[in-house]
Amino acid sequence: MDFRTLDQNQAPIKVPEENKQKKEGGTRRPLQEISNLVDFHPAPIIKNLGALSLANDQRQAEKNKEKNQEEPRKQLEGRDGKKVTYKLEPENVIVISSDDEEEIDEKREAVNQKKKNLSGNRSNRKKKKIHSLTSVLTARSKLACGLASKPRDQIVNIDAADADNELAVVEYVEEIYNFYKLTEVENPLFDYMPCQSHINKAMRMILVDWLVEVHTKFELLPETLYLTINLIDRYLSRKIVSRRELQLVGISSMLLACKYEEIWAPEVNDFICICANAYTKEQVLAMEKAILEKLEWNLTVATPYVFLVRFIKATVPSDKKMENMAFYLAENGLMYYQIIVSFCPSIIAAASVYVAMHTLNSAPVWTETLTHYTGYSKEQIKECAQMLVRLQLASKDSKLKSVYRKFSSADKDAVACLPPARHLNCQ
């Protein structure tokens, strides 16, 4: 007899001899297929007895739960004669069939999709600004009244047309003007007239007016005149001169400027002749050497002319009349000592262009391109512009008319005869 112990409280079970023979032959059926007195449920092998008992308790609890969930069903006949099974539901308990679950799942998916679409619309609404009716009407009202904000002007590349011009040195033009700005800051012209005991502002104005006439007589380049006046002011700020030497300083400075700027410079005898032989050749050459020594041979300086050429080019589109008007205002300002010592050359040039645009009624008057290339806003050049307008108003009644006559000619578009921009003087 073969005995197997299935439980501690269960009696041994006798196995028939024929089963024993099948075991020896290897044809014995698995234990779970034996339909005898034992209701066997396979379970994993757990060595820990405490864990085994806990697993048994869990299985028993699951069985009880399944039994409690099983409820009596009632069969009724439908209208078509078929039997329909209804589940009797307890009170306060909602039982959902498989069809209802599918329907709810579909509804849940629809709700989720709707939420996604709503979030997507909100994100799109953030990306794309939606204008309300009030904002649209307000914008239309501003546009009708001329209060709508204008688009900001774009900065024009004024050197693009000269890309193939080797003489324009487009690759270095920005560095060149940065150097000019640096030199005018490092070498400012201070108020030197209180240190001069023999000359005054009026004498300097007479000298500059005469040099403008000489410059026109010799048909010299514009940059020669600006460099001449720069050399005079720099020398007078370092050396006290007598009244008799003032004209000598003037012609010697122009001689130096001609040698620096002109291709064919006038000779010394030409300047002696223009002075009615008031000085000798030796005196002119001696003064020329004295000026170079005092200025340490530094002739490469920033004058209003170098900035005028650049700033006029930035008045897109620029024309000859605009150029003549700006040069007239700048040369008229060179005669007045107060402008020379109060403002640096770049501000004088920018203010001259600004007043010229107002005089010629150019619109817009001060663009983003001009602000970029000049480095100044309208507020920064306003004071200098007002002084230039006052000098322009007084030029017709002044006794020193060399600049006025020069720019009243037809080849200069008679810009000196145009009415000044009086509204700038009132601002």
Whether 293 is covered by a domain: the verdict is: yes
Closest residue by Cα to residue 248 from 284, 291, 273, 224: 284
- Which parts of 132-200 fold into alpha helices (H)? 133-145, 173-186
Q: How far apart are CA 45 and CA 47, in angstroms?
A: 6
Domain ranges, residue 246: 194-301
* Same domain? 322 vs 182: yes
Greater confidence (59 vs 219) lies with 219
pLDDT at position 36 is: 46
- Quick one: pLDDT band at residue 183, thresholds 50, 70, 90? confident
* CA–CA distance, 245 with 256 (Å, rounded to integer): 16
Give the length of the chain: 427
The CA-to-CA distance between both ends of the chain, in Å, stands at 130
Same domain, 351 and 381: yes
- Condensed to tens digits (0 to 9), the pLDDT of residues 226-267 reads 999 999 999 999 999 999 999 999 999 999 999 999 999 899
Counting the structural domains of the chain, the total is: 3
Q: Mind listing the pLDDT tens digit for each residue in 3-40?
A: 444 444 545 544 455 444 444 445 555 444 444 444 44
**What pLDDT does residue 143 have?**
55
Residues 325, 286 within the same domain: no
Q: Are 227 and 299 in contact (CB under 8 A)?
A: yes
Window from 38-47, 52-61, 156-165 with minimum mean pLDDT: 38-47
| pLDDT tens digits, one per residue of 378-424 | 999 999 999 999 999 988 888 899 999 999 999 999 999 999 888 88
Euclidean distance between CA atoms 350 and 380, whole angstroms: 10
Residues 171 and 260 reside in one and the same domain: no
Q: Are residues 198 and 264 in the same domain?
A: yes
Residue 136 lies in a domain: no
Burial (CB count <10 Å: 0-12, 13-18, 19+), residue 66: exposed
Residues 215, 275, single domain; the answer is: yes
Whether residue 407 lies inside any domain: the answer is: yes
pLDDT mean over 208-215: 96
Chain centroid offset of residue 396 CA = 45
The residues with which 83 forms a beta bridge, in sequence order, are 77
Q: Which of 301, 320, 335 corresponds to the end of one domain? A: 301
Both 353 and 421 in one domain: the answer is: yes
pLDDT of 349 over the 70 cut: yes
Contact present, 221 and 262 (Cβ < 8 Å):
yes
CATH number at residue 318: 1.10.472.10
Mean pLDDT over each residue of the chain, to the nearest integer: 77
